Structure 1
């Protein structure tokens, strides 16, 4: 019986795996010689199941990099090679494996002036699996809703919306015909809808029609001046909501509260910029979100003095565990002074919070004092690199050594800070009976084996049993 070279090599590989360590060498040399003789590559031995896992992780990592880059320029999307296409072009074997994986072809990218054949190729290869569709484009001349290319892409989206899991529409143009089409076509599998568009274009009246979105779980909106109070009445599965805008085109407080009051399953809320128009309203309705676990607040530059304090007053979240305050884009500490004053004077707004994340370029002493008063129950505090030393100085000063009494974990964005301050802080907390047990730093991993960092970690362990790690 004739044995093919590849079968023979596979058999030798299996025998090699069963042999104990010291007896592998002769067979390994024979196997290597056979590979050279027959021209067989090591990678051809990978089972299809393992190859599929490699394909999935490769595509997943590439998409994650694209999402984190936050670049939505159509040209970059065109020039960037799609990983699944590259994998399918390596060899006939890899191509057969890739074509047998419908989930590999569910990420549909759409943009103006696109080759429709490529879109149809992905739709065919996805074989009816749930789709992630992204429409990105910039239209500089005329009205895109009358552009045949725009209408073609809108038709593609609407004709496949019934098997769409995630839809993102991002462009510097209005797209009312596309959004208006959602009123007439059911989208039973849609979990996430992300819409970005210029603040001066009133698209928001077209955005949400719950008759067609019974399974909606995540929505991101960029402008919502025309959202009416009766939206989302049946969106009882919505779990994540992101609002991004300016108060001049934002929701009225009444519509904002009415919107949230119907989201009984909401667990994540993100507010970017100043999406609620509290500036022109005195009667602020209060809404309770019983299942909200995470809230992210990222105010923009030159926010009104009423916005942040009113958000804290208008939302009640008894189950809130994580609060992120991102003040990086705030122009100065004066923009946040009203919030600091409110936190200093009032009762703690979210006593259930256990993880507080603070991103800022500067935090004054009274700001730390206000946070310590408002969030005394936190067990984990994460701060950006610009304010690490300020935090440690605040916690080490004689008058505030009892701040955050339950604090057990510190998370830092960077390892570039005064290590002597950290050592002092850990000693003070240990002596006061409120020890910090864990310190994590982003980027620490690549320096963990250096001699200097080794000495610092050793000195820390000498004084207090703290775990030093990285994220």
Structure 2
């Protein structure tokens, strides 16, 4: 028969000390946390078994602080998954997906109370045509004045109105919501298949002092830039050139000292003029991340291309579309100056052929390095010719980390191993591969060559490595790699 102390062990571990330990555990780094989690997990299992006898669920004893952390991580995971959607059909499905924060409030009265007491849980505002505006107002109320992340997806593939979408009452209501709350907006994304004249005209007259991230996806079927953000919004900036500021507007919609992330997505026929593009960037003095998708700047119809320096830019992502003009990439690299740029990602997956990037390759081979400060170069492409690698090695000789997609991993290693290019990327220390399916013999040969040349690769990372790490073949290959590089890390 159990003693009183033995039968009440599960009551003792629900003391304030246990709760405090649990809270401190949540703050520890992963490697330190794992053994402690195992010990506490064993106790929790015993507790759960005991509580089942009394008809009580162990989860009801989780401290509110830990429950809040679980809620936050659940919502974050959903937001990250949503950001992977890009096609219009996927955006349509997105509006039908259940919101995790709403589901959490329906589990129990306690969960509902915890969720409603977390204003940050309700700051992700999604806006669609044919949307229940009452739901939007519910989120705005529950966010309690916290900074908002607003996403207006103006896709209308199910839109059957006879009139223009921008004059639909739903559109007008959504535009009003954005304009009414943009002063407390931290992140704004405007994405749609039609122009937003009322919204954009309103933004010209309203300040967004708290805005840190802006994503503008241009309507792809509009044959001019008359309604595109900033094109008419900066009338006094169109004549501004670098080094010759004649009239700087103090009435910018954006906060020059706060906006850090800018994404522009569109085609040149509906894109910004080079003058407006350069003027915009030159006034965003806090910008650290710039993403250009498709061909959002109309370099095609311009002769005088103004230069622009972005003093704090650290990361730039370039994803040209399938039908880019041959002047776009060379002109972009020639007109942007980024003295502290550290990460450059070139995603050529959407390009139709090597012709689309050949003009850039030719420019890089002959010209001065466009961004000498780059240390991490990411290249995603279906194929890369020898002269392409040669051009990249010339233009980005200072990179220490090179990340490539799976289609071109063997091509990269072949280029670096050939007799004439063994000194390419002399500072290279880390290789990042998108997969483990490549010619391992090429990698071993490359590591041998680099070691002998006094330019050793010190780190190799492979996506999905842990999934294959237990196989005998991969184990032997990893052992071989350890001869030439101290660290081999797999991505999960």
**TM (normalized to structure 2)?**
0.82
Deviation at 1:258, TM superposition (A): 2.6
Q: Deviations over 1:277-330 (max 9, x none)?
A: 333334333222222222222222232222222222222222121111111122
Instruction: Name the CA shift for 1:194/1:253 in 2 (closer, same or farther; >3 Å).
Output: closer
Distance in 2, matches of 1:253 and 1:28, equals 62
Instruction: Please give the residue correspondences for 1:9-20 in structure 2 after superposition, counting only pairs within 5 Å.
Output: 11-14=11-14
- Correspondence 1:423 to 2:440: no
Gaps of 5+ in 1: 1-7, 209-223
Distance in 1, matches of 2:349 and 2:129, equals 34
Q: Deviations over 1:156-193 (max 9, x none)?
A: 22222332222223222322112222234443323333
Select which of 400, 415, 419 maps to 1:394: 415
- Correspondence 1:92 to 2:109: yes
- 1:37 corresponds to: 53
- Correspondence 1:48 to 2:55: no
Please say if residues 228 and 270 of structure 2, whose CA atoms lie closer than 8 Å, have aligned partners that are also in contact.
no
Q: Deviations over 1:399-457 (max 9, x none)?
A: 11111111101111111100000000000100111100001111112112222211110
Further displaced range: 188-197 or 332-341: 188-197
Q: How many residues align?
A: 442
Please say if residues 219 and 266 of structure 2, whose CA atoms lie closer than 8 Å, have aligned partners that are also in contact.
no
Instruction: Name the CA shift for 1:250/1:186 in 2 (closer, same or farther; >3 Å).
Output: closer
- 1:207 corresponds to: 229
Distance in 2, matches of 1:195 and 1:309, equals 23
Please say if residues 218 and 270 of structure 2, whose CA atoms lie closer than 8 Å, have aligned partners that are also in contact.
no
- Correspondence 1:135 to 2:142: no
Root-mean-square deviation (Å):
2.8
Deviation at 1:42, TM superposition (A): 0.9
- 2:256 corresponds to: 236
Further displaced range: 112-121 or 99-108: 112-121
Gaps of 5+ in 2: 1-7, 22-35, 239-248
Distance in 1, matches of 2:277 and 2:202, equals 24
Instruction: Name the CA shift for 1:226/1:334 in 2 (closer, same or farther; >3 Å).
Output: farther
Instruction: Name the CA shift for 1:48/1:444 in 2 (closer, same or farther; >3 Å).
Output: same
Further displaced range: 265-274 or 40-49: 265-274
- Correspondence 1:101 to 2:125: no
**TM (normalized to structure 1)?**
0.86
- 1:322 corresponds to: 343
Further displaced range: 30-39 or 373-382: 30-39
Further displaced range: 34-43 or 362-371: 34-43
- 1:126 corresponds to: 143
Q: Deviations over 1:89-135 (max 9, x none)?
A: 11111111111111111222222222233222222222222222222
**Partner SS state of residue 384, structure 2:** coil
Instruction: Name the CA shift for 1:9/1:98 in 2 (closer, same or farther; >3 Å).
Output: farther
Distance in 2, matches of 1:13 and 1:173, equals 59
- Correspondence 1:370 to 2:391: yes
- 2:273 corresponds to: 252
